[in-house]
Structure formats: structure tokens, C-alpha cells
């Protein structure tokens, strides 16, 4: 009786194992679709690998991304893919065959984001609070669909958080000696190499680039200069006196966690001009200078000894318009059209200069500016100081990588609404932003660390 019981038990165990094995196989075969993204807590400038698994094999799918920015506007992108025999799709390997972008673009869902509805295309995506992540919802839909026209069946989704500030980066508001800025310090005691960071016209204090630089090991001071010292009834005018930028540079240089002899300056657009102008002052001796889409001089007249300027909109002689009524400012910044007293005396430059331009820039005459700088520095025997990178198809605002591009943007509402043509095309501009950021970090590594 005991022998028979053991045999029966063994048969039951074998049957159970066979049954559970089949159950496991069926469970694997019918696994729930899964979407993954690595790394899990990336910085904005890091490439993410997005993979879909357990999807129907050899089937069309649509990947969608959407984000609601801090102004409450919704931005979306989508791309059509085809799964392989294993039912997987890998954005770092596979090509999009339609949608917001084409080809193998691992980060296309991010730089391809556009405001919805399309009528809001004059908006730009701006991150105001860099201490919170940029949160993107990525989903997979059945079939090749256009999300705006109708939703397909959602197979799976994932939420991705991307950060400007790495863990341990410190953000410090600065309001002293008339200077308004935000200081970002990397983790640790330092001292750190540092950058003075200047943005362009049309915005107040922009902290995104400085936060990223601190995440890469550089102390960075994001300096505000718009709307300050508007005394004497000169509303809507800027005060861009030399002393303000000199004081900001020295404040950064004198910080106890900054290497005083390893401080550079970076500027975008009009901030590029201010960076150039500040760097050639005898009281300021930066270790390096980076100018992104910057003019070779001031587009506005200085109206008093304190450096206050007239309204940029006051001189419209060189403005031109496209067929949609968007303004091109490019001709206003041609070297021959700039205010003589505002031209940068680049021959006085004493530190390495990295000059980055987009060849479809409709705001700044970057190409002509680069040629002028090259010729002037050559004549002064300083060609070795000049490095120029020019990007075909790129527009004006070349930001850190994977940032959505706006070909047109709302410039101002007062006294009248002005929409500016920034230029650039989505895919080439994305290439420019990714490559230019690498060049910037390499340039800083050479001139501030070695």
C-alpha cells in the first residue's frame, strides 16, 4: 500500500510539474506588453534607451510622448515603428517610418515635441523650476495612427522623469551689490571651475543651462540683466553697463568654492554679445569664452553713460518678414548695420573663443559674424584662439540637447504682438544641439580643467 501511494504521489507531482511548466510557457507567451526606459533618473542631456517588449510580433505600433509644461500647455510627438519577430521595438536601434521624425532617432520623441493644437506653434517650451523634473508620458498604441485624429488601443505606457539638477547640486539665489542671479554649485566642497552664464533677449532669468553645467561639475552663475535699473522713466529698456557684468564675474571668481583662475563665460544670442564685450575688458580675464549664435555688436544704441539702451523695437529699418508675417531680425545684426560704438573689439581678445552658429539662423547674422571674427583675429595674430562650429539647417536658439525646437516664437506682446522667425529645421537642429553641447563640454574640459 505504501509503495502504491508513493508511485501515485510521484505521478501526481510529475503531472503538476508538467501543468505548471505549460502554464509558465503560456504566461510567457501572453505576457503583458512592457515599456522600459534607461537610465531611470537621467539628466536632460543624457540619451535614454526606450524599449518595448512582449508586443505583437511583426506588427505596426505607434509610440507617443506628451508633456504638460509649467504654463499648462500640452506638447506631443509620435512615431511609427514595426516590431520584430520577438515583438520588441528598440528606439536606439529601430527606425521610425513616419510621424514627428524619420529614421533611427533614440531621442526623437523628446526633441520632436510640439505644442497642441498646432496653432500654438509660436510658443517655446521653457523650464522655469529646475528643481523639479520634466515629466514625459510615453505610450505604445496599436497600429500606425495619428494621435490627434484618433487614439488607437493603448498597449502599455511609462512615465519618464528627466532632470536639470543632478543629486547634490545646490541652487542659491543671489541678490547683492545690485546683482540678480542664481548660483549653482556641484556636490562636494570644491573648489570648482566656473562659468558666468548669460541668456538672450526676450527672457528673464534662465537657469536650465547653469543647472546642467553644475551637474557636470562646474559652478555656474546664471545672471539676469533684463528689466534692471529702469530709472529716469526709461521703461522697457535695458541697462547693460560694463560694471554690472564685471561685478558679476568677480563675484563668481571670489566665491570660496570657485577656482579663481578657472572661470569662463558663456552667452547665447544677445548674451553672446555681452559675453564677448565683457571678456575683452582689462579688468576681466576669463579662462575661456563660448558664444552661441551671438552678434558681433549691439543692435541698439546706448543712450546714456550708464549703459542704458533704447528699445530694440525702435529701429525697424532692417526688419524683414516672411509670408506668415514673422519678423526676421537677421539683417539688423549684419556687421555693417550695427551701431559703431557697440561693435566688439575682438582684436583685444586674450582667451580661447568657441563660436557656435546655425546656418539657418534668422535672428542673428552668425555666418557673417564668424567670418569677421576669423579675419580680425587672423590680422591680430590670434587665429589660434578662435574655434568655429557651424551647423547646416540649425536655427538660432541652440540649447542643450533633446530640447524641443521652435522655428517661430512669440517675441513680445507690448506694445504690439511680434512673432519672430528663429529659423532651423527639426532634425538638423536636433543634431546641432547634441553635437554643440558635446563641443562645449569638451572645450570647457580643455580650458578649465587641464
Cβ 288 vs Cβ 448: under 8 Å: yes
> Could you give the CA distance from residue 162 to residue 41 in angstroms, rounded to a whole number?
6
> Could you give the CA distance from residue 316 to residue 194 in angstroms, rounded to a whole number?
38
Cell of 195: 562659468
> Could you give the CA distance from residue 217 to residue 188 in angstroms, rounded to a whole number?
10
Residue among 134, 269, 293, 406 flagged as catalytic: 269
Q: How many CB atoms lie within 10 A of CB 177?
A: 10
Residue among 361, 366, 406, 409 flagged as catalytic: 361
396 is catalytic: yes
Cell of 72: 499648462
Cβ 309 vs Cβ 300: under 8 Å: yes
Is the bond leading into 385 cis (omega within 30 degrees of zero)? no
Task: Provide φ and ψ at 306, rounded to 5°.
Answer: -85, 5
> Could you give the CA distance from residue 320 to residue 331 in angstroms, rounded to a whole number?
8
Element (H, E) at 3: helix 2-29
Cβ 355 vs Cβ 443: under 8 Å: no
Cβ 436 vs Cβ 398: under 8 Å: yes
Identify the DSSP state of 233.
T
256 is catalytic: no
Task: Provide φ and ψ at 109, rounded to 5°.
Answer: -65, -20
220 is catalytic: no
Q: Is the Cα dihedral 208, 212, 215, 218 positive or negative?
A: negative
Cβ 65 vs Cβ 37: under 8 Å: no
Which value, to the nearest 10 degrees, does the dihedral of the CA atoms of residues 290, 292, 297, 300 take? -130
Alpha carbons within 13 A on the beta-carbon side of 59: 18
> Could you give the CA distance from residue 372 to residue 126 in angstroms, rounded to a whole number?
32
Strands 386-391 and 320-321: unpaired
Instruction: Write out the catalytic residue numbers.
Output: 269, 361, 396
Amino acid at each position: 500500500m505504501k509503495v502504491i501511494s508513493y508511485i501515485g504521489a510521484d505521478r501526481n507531482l510529475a503531472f503538476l510539474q508538467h501543468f505548471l511548466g505549460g502554464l509558465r510557457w503560456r504566461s510567457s507567451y501572453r505576457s503583458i506588453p512592457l515599456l522600459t526606459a534607461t537610465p531611470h533618473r537621467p539628466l536632460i542631456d543624457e540619451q535614454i534607451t526606450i524599449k518595448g517588449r512582449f508586443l505583437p510580433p511583426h506588427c505596426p505600433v505607434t509610440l507617443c510622448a506628451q508633456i504638460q509644461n509649467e504654463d499648462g500647455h500640452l506638447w506631443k510627438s509620435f512615431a511609427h515603428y514595426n516590431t520584430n519577430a520577438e515583438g520588441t521595438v528598440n528606439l536606439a536601434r529601430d527606425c521610425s517610418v513616419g510621424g514627428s521624425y524619420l529614421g533611427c532617432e533614440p531621442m526623437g520623441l523628446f526633441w520632436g515635441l510640439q505644442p497642441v493644437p498646432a496653432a500654438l506653434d509660436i510658443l517655446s517650451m521653457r523650464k522655469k523650476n529646475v528643481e523639479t523634473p520634466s515629466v514625459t508620458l510615453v505610450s505604445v498604441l496599436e497600429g500606425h495612427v495619428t494621435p490627434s485624429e484618433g487614439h488607437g488601443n493603448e498597449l502599455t505606457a511609462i512615465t519618464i522623469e528627466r532632470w536639470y539638477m543632478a543629486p547634490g547640486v545646490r541652487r542659491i539665489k543671489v541678490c547683492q551689490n545690485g546683482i540678480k542671479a542664481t548660483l549653482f554649485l556641484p556636490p562636494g566642497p570644491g573648489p570648482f571651475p566656473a562659468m558666468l552664464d548669460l541668456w538672450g533677449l526676450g527672457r528673464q532669468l534662465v537657469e536650465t543651462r547653469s543647472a546642467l553645467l553644475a551637474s557636470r561639475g562646474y559652478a555656474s552663475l546664471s545672471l539676469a540683466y533684463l528689466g534692471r535699473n529702469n530709472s529716469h522713466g526709461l521703461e522697457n529698456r535695458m541697462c547693460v553697463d560694463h560694471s554690472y557684468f564685471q561685478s558679476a564675474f568677480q563675484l563668481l571668481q571670489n566665491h570660496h568654492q570657485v577656482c579663481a583662475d578657472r572661470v569662463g563665460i558663456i552667452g547665447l544670442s544677445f548674451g553672446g554679445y555681452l559675453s564677448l564685450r565683457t571678456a575683452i575688458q582689462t579688468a576681466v580675464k576669463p579662462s575661456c569664452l563660448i558664444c552661441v549664435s551671438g552678434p558681433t555688436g549691439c543692435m541698439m544704441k546706448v543712450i546714456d553713460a550708464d549703459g542704458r539702451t533704447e528699445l530694440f523695437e525702435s529701429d525697424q529699418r532692417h526688419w524683414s518678414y516672411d509670408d506668415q508675417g514673422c519678423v526676421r531680425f537677421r539683417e539688423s545684426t549684419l556687421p555693417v548695420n550695427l551701431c559703431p560704438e557697440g561693435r566688439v573689439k575682438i582684436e583685444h581678445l586674450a582667451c580661447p573663443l568657441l563660436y557656435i552658429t546655425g546656418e539657418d539662423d534668422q535672428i542673428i547674422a552668425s555666418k557673417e559674424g564668424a567670418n569677421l571674427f576669423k579675419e580680425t583675429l587672423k590680422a591680430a595674430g590670434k587665429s589660434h584662439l578662435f574655434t568655429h562650429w557651424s551647423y547646416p539647417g540649425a536655427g538660432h536658439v541652440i540649447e542643450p540637447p533633446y530640447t524641443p525646437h521652435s522655428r517661430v516664437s512669440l517675441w513680445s506682446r507690448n506694445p504690439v504682438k511680434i512673432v519672430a522667425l528663429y529659423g532651423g529645421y527639426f532634425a538638423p537642429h536636433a543634431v546641432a544641439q547634441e553635437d554643440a553641447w558635446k563641443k562645449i563640454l569638451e572645450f570647457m574640459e580643455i580650458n578649465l580643467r587641464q
